Amino acid sequence: MKLIVTLISLLATLHLFAGNEPERSLQANKILQAPKIDGVLDEAFWQTAPVAENFIVNSPNYGEPSAYKTKVYVVYDNSSIYIGAYLYDDPKLVRTQLTARDKENLQDVDYFSVFFDTYNDDQNGFQFLVTSRNVQSDGRLSPNRNSSFGPPSDYSWDAVWESKVTMREDGWVVEMKIPYFSLRFAKKEKQDWGLNFQRYVRRSNESSYWNNINPNQNGFVNQFGRLSGLENLTPPLRLSFLPYVTAGYRTVPTAKGRVNEFLRNGGMDVKYGINESFTLDMTLIPDFGQVISDNVVNNLTPYEVQFQENRPFFTEGTEIFNKSGLFYSRRVGATPSGYYKARSMGSTDSTRIISNPGVVQLFNATKFSGRTKQKLGIGVFNAVGASMFAEIENTNTKEVQRVQTEPLTNYNLIVIDQALKGRSSITLTNANVTRSGVARDANVTGLDVYLFDKRNRYGLQGKFDYSKISGLNPYNGFKTMLSLGKVSGKIQYNFLSNIESDRYDPNDLGYLGAPNKVNHQFRISYNQLTPTDKFISYNFNFTVRHEMLYKPFVFTNVQYNAGAFWFFKNFWDLSATAIYQPLWQKNYFELRTPGRYLRQVPWGFLRLSGSSDSRKRLFFRYAFGFAESVDIKNDPYIVANPGLRYRFSDRLSMDIDWRLQDDRGQFGYAFMREANGEPIIGRRRNRDVTTLITGIYNFTSRMNVTLRARHYWNKVEYVSFHNVSNDGWYLDRAFIPGQDQNFNAWNVDVFYTWDFNYGSRFVIGWKNWLANDYPVNGDRYKTYWGNAARVLASPQGNEFTARMIFFIDSQKLKRKRNQL
C-alpha cells in the first residue's frame, strides 16, 4: 500500500506529461437525413462539409507532400458517423487485389483508413479501413511505444459497419457508415475526438496521413489531429445477438478402432451497450471448434510452449486485459489437467477410452469494458469451466470408470486503467482462479506505471506483481520491473531491471516460462527513420544482458547482442544479428532438479534475413543463421528459413514457408534419472523441419476459401549420456540405447467463409490431422521427406463442420416491428 501511495504522489507532482499539440483540426457537420451508402458522394451536405486534404507522406519519403490528391469529409447524425473520401488517381493504375478481411497487409491493393481517438486520451482508439475492392478491416489501437512501423492496430477486433467503393474517371471513392454502437466514447454534451486519415498507394508504397505521423516520435495515437463539432450524440440502444448453430462429423482412428462422433452445438454471443462508454460481451455455451490448429512441437525445453490465441471471443476487444501481461487466455478452456493421465489409464491391454474430452467445456464467458469521461478504463473478465470427466472401460469386466480430469473452475480478471495526460498511465490488475473442492486456487495482483516527459522523449515504466497460491501447498511470490530510457529521436537507449522471486507464479491465468530470475539489460540504438540517398530507413542496435538467479543469488550468464536493419530504396530489406555468450552459462532450469545447474558452453551466433519487394507478383523472404561453440569443436547450430509467396491473380495467392533447425551438439536433460534420482543428460543432434503452406482464393470481397497445411518433423539422436557433478560439469556414464525420438505433427485446415450480411457468417470447415496412435518409425524413415511421405500414408483424423452465425441488431428489429 505504501508503494501505491508513493507512486500516485509521484504522478501528481512530476510533470512527465507528453504530447505535441495537434497541427490540424476538422469540423464535423450534423445532418438530418442519412446518406445512401453507395460510394457516390452526391448528397448536398457532402459538398458543404469541411474538407481534410494535403496529406503528408510518412513513408517512403517522410515529410513530403503526398503525390496523390485526397479529399475527406466527415458528417454525423443521431445514429452514426459518416466518412466520404475522394482519392484522386488514374483508375487504371489503382491496385485492386481481393483480400480477406483484416489481411490487406503486403497485398497488392490500395486502401484508405480513418482513425478515431474517441476518449481523446492520446493512447487508445479505433481504425476502420477500406480497400479499393471494398474489403473491410478494423482494429483497436493501443498505446504503442513506436510509430515507425505503422498503426498499432489489433485486427482481431471486428465491428459491424458499412462501406462502399466506386471507381471514377479520376480516382476512386469510399463512403463509410460507422454506427455509434461500433464505437465507445464518454457521455459529454460536446465531443472532441482525436482524428486521422491514412491513404496507402500500393504501386509506390506511399503511406500518407492527414495529420503528420513523425516516425522519430514515440507513439501513434498521440499524433492525431482533432475532430470537433460533435454535439448531443444520442447513440441507440447497443444490444445485439449473435446466435449460432454448428453441425458436423468427426472420425478419429485409434489403435483399438476408429472413433466416430456426430458434432452438434448451439449457443449465442450477446453484446449490450450499458451506456455510451461501457459494453458487456457474453458468450453462452461457446464452441471454438472452427479455429486454426496449433503449431504443435516436440518440446525438449523445461519451459511450457506458449500458443497463439485464435478464438474470436478471446481476441476481440481484449487490449485492456492484456496491458499488464497477466492474461494468457489459452488457460481458459484449455486441455484438462488430467487428460494425459486418463489417456494412459485407457491405453493398457485391458482398458479402452470411451470418452476423454481434449478441451474444457465453458459454460459461459463474459467481458465488461469501457472508459469514462475522466479517462478511467475498467475491464472485467469472467469465465466458468465445467467439471470434466473421462470414461474408461475395462474390456474384461465391461466396467466403466469415470475419472475427473478437471474440476469446476472460475476465472476472473479485473483491470483498472487510468490514462493520464499525454501518454502516461497507471494500471491495476487482479487475476484470480478458483476451483471446486481441495484443488489449487490462485490470485495475482499487478501494478503498472507508464510515465513520459512533456516532450515525449523519455519514458519510465514500473511494474510490481504479487502472486498467492492457495490450497494444499500454499506459497507466494513477486515480480518487479523498472525500465527507464530515451524513447524518441535518432539515438534511443533503455535500461531495464527485472526481478522474479523463486515462488512467483502467475500461470493459472497468465504465462511465465520460469521464475527465479534477476535480469539487467542495457540497449542503445541509432535509428535513421527518414529517407537518405540510398535508404528509406535503417537502424543499428546493441544490447548487453546480465542474468542472475534470485535464490540462491548467483551469477548465471551474460550475453551481448548487436543488430542492424536496412530498408532500401527498391523496397528490399536486410537484417543482420550477432549474439555472443562469452562464459559458461549456469542453467538452473534444464535439469528439472531444484538447486542443481548444468553448465552450457560459450557460443557465438550470426544471422542474416531479409525480403524482396512485396509489390511484385513473386515475393520471397529468407533467414539464415549459424552458431558454433567456443570450447567444443564441431558443434554447429544451423537455421535456414526461406519463404515464397506467389500471387497468381487478384483472387488467388499461395505462400510456402520452410524452416530447418539443426543443432548437432545439444546437451540437455534426457528425461531419465538414475536409481538415486540423479538427472541424466545427453548430447544429441536435434533437428526439426517445418513446412507451412497457406493459400486463399477470394470469390468476392465477402467470400473466400482459405487453406493452411503444416508438417513438422523432429528427429532427436543421442550421441552420449552423462551424469552431472554438483558444480554443473558433465560426467561420463554408459550409453543408454533406444532413447532417440522421431516426432511428426500434421494438420490441414480448410475454411469456406461467406459473410452473407453485415455481422452474419456461414462457415464450412475441414480439419485433418495425424492420429496420435500411429507414430512414424524413425529407424525406418530417417529423412524429412521419408517422414512426410509416411505421414500422408498413415491413418488420419478428419472433422467436417458447418456453422451459421446470425447478427441480430435490436434496433433493426424495433424498426421492423414499428413498420408492421
The predicted-structure confidence for 285-315, as pLDDT tens digits, reads as follows: 777 777 889 999 999 999 999 988 888 788 7
pLDDT at 149 (0 to 100): 56
Residue 201 has pLDDT above 80, yes or no: yes
pLDDT at 245 over 70: yes
The tens digit of pLDDT for each residue in 32-82 reads: 999 999 999 999 999 999 999 999 999 999 999 999 999 999 999 988 999
pLDDT at position 279 is: 86
What CATH architecture is 2-231?
Sandwich (2.60)
What's 125's DSSP letter? Answer: E
In one letter, which amino acid is 553? F
Of 276 and 331, the one with more pLDDT: 331
Cα separations (Å) of 189 from 49, 199, 233, 374, 482?
Answer: 21, 32, 7, 14, 40
Which pLDDT belongs to residue 815?
56
Task: Please report the beta strands in 274-336, taking only residues with DSSP state E, as ranges in sequence order.
Answer: 278-284
Cis ω for the linkage preceding 552 (within 30 of 0)? yes
Quick check: 476 and 484 in contact, CB under 8 A?
no
Whether the per-residue pLDDT at 237 is higher than 50: the answer is yes
- Give yes or no for residue 1 having a pLDDT over 50: no
Q: What phi, psi does 819 have (nearest 5°)? A: -80, -15
Of 811 and 667, the structure prediction assigns the larger pLDDT to: 667
Give pLDDT tens digits for 576-606: 999 999 999 999 999 999 999 999 999 999 9
Instruction: Specify the pLDDT at position 17.
Output: 38
CA 223 – CA 22 distance, rounded (Å) = 7
On the question of pLDDT at 505 being above 70, the answer is yes
pLDDT at 486 over 70: yes
> The C-alpha cell of 282 is what?
457474453
Cα 610–chain centre separation: 22
Mean of pLDDT over the chain: 90
Neighbours of 259 (CB within 10 A): 16
Percentage of the residues of the chain whose pLDDT score is greater than 70: 95
pLDDT at res. 817: 56
Q: How confident is the model at residue 472 (pLDDT cuts 50, 70, 90)?
A: confident
Residues of the chain with CATH 2.60.40.1190: 2-231
* Residue of 168, 175, 164 whose CA lies nearest to 89: 168
Please determine, for residue 408, whether its predicted confidence score (pLDDT) is greater than 70. yes
Please report which confidence band the pLDDT of residue 317 belongs to, taking 50, 70 and 90 as the band edges.
Answer: confident
pLDDT confidence of 223, banded at 50, 70, 90? very high
Do residues 548 and 555 lie in contact, with contact meaning Cβ atoms separated by under 8 Å? yes
How many Å apart are CA 143 and CA 193, to the nearest integer? 16
Give the confidence band of 440 by pLDDT, cuts at 50, 70, 90: very high
Amino acid occupying residue 410? N
Q: Which of 222-231, 305-314, 515-524 has the lowest mean pLDDT?
A: 305-314
pLDDT at 2: 44
Count helices and strands (H / E) in the chain: 6, 47
Q: What is the pLDDT of residue 200?
A: 96
The Cβ of residue 351 has, within 10 Å, a number of other Cβ atoms equal to 18
Q: Tell me: pLDDT of 11 over 60.
A: no
Query: What pLDDT is recorded for position 7?
Result: 43
What string of DSSP letters covers 143-177? --S--TTS--EETT-----EEEEEEETTEEEEEEE
Overall size of the chain counted in residues: 820
pLDDT digits (tens, 9 = 90+) for 383-397: 999 999 999 999 889
Q: Which of 37, 41, 73 lies closest to 172, judged by CA?
A: 41
Highest mean pLDDT among 162-171, 183-192, 631-640 belongs to: 162-171
More confident residue, 609 or 344: 609
SS3 letters across 696-755:
EEEEECCEEEEEEEEEEEEEEEEEEEEEECCCCCEEECCCCCCCCEEEEEEEEEEEEEEE
Higher pLDDT, 17 or 260: 260
The pLDDT value recorded for residue 165 is: 96
pLDDT value at position 312? 78
Neighbours of 818 (CB within 10 A): 7
The per-residue pLDDT for 10 is 43
- Supply the pLDDT for residue 731: 95
Instruction: Tell me the mean pLDDT in the region 505-530.
Output: 95
- Could you tell me which residues are beta bridge partners of residue 353? 392
